[in-house]
Amino acid sequence: MSALRPLLAADGLGLGIATVREPGPRPAGPAEAAAAASMPARRRLEFLAGRRAARRALRAVGLDCGEIPRSGRLPVFPPGRAASISHSAGIAVAVARAAGPGLPLGCDLELRPLPRAAARLVLREDEEELLDDRDEPFHAGSRPTGAGWTVTELFSAKEAALKALAGTGTGTGTGTGPGLGPPCLGEAGEGPQGLRRARPTVSLRDLRVDPAQDGLCVVRLRADPARAVRVRVVRVGTGVFGYVLDASPSLGPSAALI
């Protein structure tokens, strides 16, 4: 994961990484301590790792941050700070940006590949042509030019986009960052696989993926195609990491996605 820092830095983002195995995990303040105290041991370690990752991501873009309390499942940042957090297989990652109020934030780490059968939970019929049917080795790093997408890649792209699109619009509140939509869009929160652990009012099937170029795609709301973000998906070992670059302009009248 650390090898991705220059790539994210080129996109104007800071990357923070933490693991549940780091010695002496401690809450950064009373609000974090109170939240952690109510959690089972494994979830507590994930929670604290996510907070450490968020602070490291913010430091990577020149911002400091103390404790990060939560509202429901969402982390709450002080004014002028925002980050998106994801967990998978004992690793927590976060992305943050230094400037640009109103710019969306979202990331998703998936280190456990999803089976092809999970496609029906992620995609609609008009997206199934995106899937890669070839029996090829899965290599870490950038996606092969012209290759189809795995279910895991499409899941991660949509999950990262959902976090960004579900932002509050304040730039100072939830962990999904400023976002492009109202809070009622959903709370993908900081769970590693929001499709199963969060309860968004908009599901991943309510988003549409349109590949743009190698490793990039546009993810938009089917009900409102003008609300869209650009997402980069990078292969990490046998898993993937997806993160939102910025808001994407509408594809125009031809984008009839309802």
What's the pTM value of the predicted model, to 2 decimals?
0.83
Res 248: pLDDT: 82
Res 140: pLDDT: 58
Structure tokens, 10: 């080129």
Res 54: pLDDT: 97
DSSP structural state of residue 193: T
CA angle centred on 29, ends 24 and 30, rounded to 5°: 115
- The Cα–Cα gap between 58 and 14 comes to 7
Res 176: pLDDT: 44
Place of tokens 């029906």: 120
- The Cα–Cα gap between 95 and 57 comes to 6
For 232-254, give one letter per residue: b (16+ CB within 10 A) or e: bbbbbeebbbbbbbebbeebeee
- The Cα–Cα gap between 152 and 158 comes to 10
CB within 8 A of 179, min separation 6: which ones?
Answer: 104, 105, 164, 165, 166, 167, 168, 169, 185
Res 212: pLDDT: 82
Res 189: pLDDT: 42
- Mean pLDDT by groups of 10 residues along the chain of 258 residues: 93 96 91 94 95 96 93 88 94 89 88 92 93 61 69 96 71 43 38 40 92 85 94 92 87 36
Res 48: pLDDT: 96
